Amino acid sequence: MSDDPISDWILSEGNATQITRTSPIGGGCINNARRYDTDAGSFFVKTNRSIGPSMFEGEALGLGAMYETRTIRVPRPFKVGPLPTGGSYIIMEFIDFGASRGNQSVLGRKLAEMHKAGKSEQGFGFDVDNTIGSTPQINSWTSDWIEFYGKHRLGYQLKLILDQYGDSTIYQKGKRLVKNMAPLFQNIVIEPCLLHGDLWSGNISSDKNGEPVILDPACYYGHNEAEFGMSWCAGFGGSFYNAYFEVMPKQPGFEKRREIYLLYHYLNHYNLFGSSYRSSAMSIIDDYLLMLGV
């Protein structure tokens, strides 16, 4: 293996003859990020000294799938590989961000266009498992959405909470909700749509032309409404939802399902950051158990 596989790729397949500068980019809490400036343009490179290439492979496949829809702008992934001293890297397109997060209605419309264009013949899931933050996200292909969401999203997080904190109360109540949540999905058609999967304000930006850019995905094919699961820290306004639903019409019962999709991310935050997120998750579970009469 080369001592510097990143520079080697940039100076060969990246079509550069000279790297003029590298500079650190802040913002990430899991990986290190650098900008590589060359005579063939700039590249964005993330490295992680402690994790093998599988995490970045999942990210690259997600970015690639979103890129292929030709709907909303995402950084194009170029190369993933191992580092000689351990760890891994990903090289992708460098996008010069604009000053704002862009136009909310354009973001809503383009996100809906991605959901409409990105379809799966294999059901719900993704070709590889990936991560949501640093938590593993299991994407085993499943034909039924309620089964997929109950087992690989809510159920997986609940089991992590039980293992990590011994919180049998939230585990047992959560499992009861999973077992009884089918009525929330009555009278709707659920098609597998390509989801970004972790759409919060830190993963939404805009380019120099004001076009929205989304990044750092946790992609899978799922119910389009699950995309709004991080809306509690995404700042989506009325113009975002209005533009979205013009392309992907709102389905009956949308409001009563909203919090079932927030729950996944509250449970994940409980696992990642501790018990300050427990009450939000518990409140959602208790409300649904009451609503469903179970």
Residues contacting residue 283 through CB under 8 Å, at least 6 positions apart: none
273 alpha-carbon distance from chain centroid: 18
9 alpha-carbon distance from chain centroid: 27
Residue 4 is among the residues annotated as catalytic for this protein: no
Query: What is the DSSP secondary structure assignment for residue 39, as one 8-state letter?
Result: B
- Tell me the three state secondary structure of residue 288: helix
- Tell me the three state secondary structure of residue 81: strand
Angle made by CA atoms 196, 200, 205, in degrees to the nearest 5: 85
CA atoms of 110 and 243, how far apart (whole Å): 9
Which of the following is catalytic: 39, 198, 207, 287? 198
Query: What is the DSSP secondary structure assignment for residue 155, as one 8-state letter?
Result: I
CA proximity to 65, closest of 122, 8, 104: 122
The CA-atom distances, in angstroms, between 207 and each of 38, 70, 99, 216, 275 are: 20, 16, 8, 15, 37
Burial profile 79-88: b = 16 or more Cβ within 10 angstroms, e = fewer: bbbebeeebb
Query: What is the DSSP secondary structure assignment for residue 230, as one 8-state letter?
Result: G
CA atoms of 82 and 74, how far apart (whole Å): 23
Angle made by CA atoms 210, 213, 214, in degrees to the nearest 5: 155
Find out whether 223 and 119 touch, Cβ atoms under 8 Å: no
Residues noted as catalytic: 198
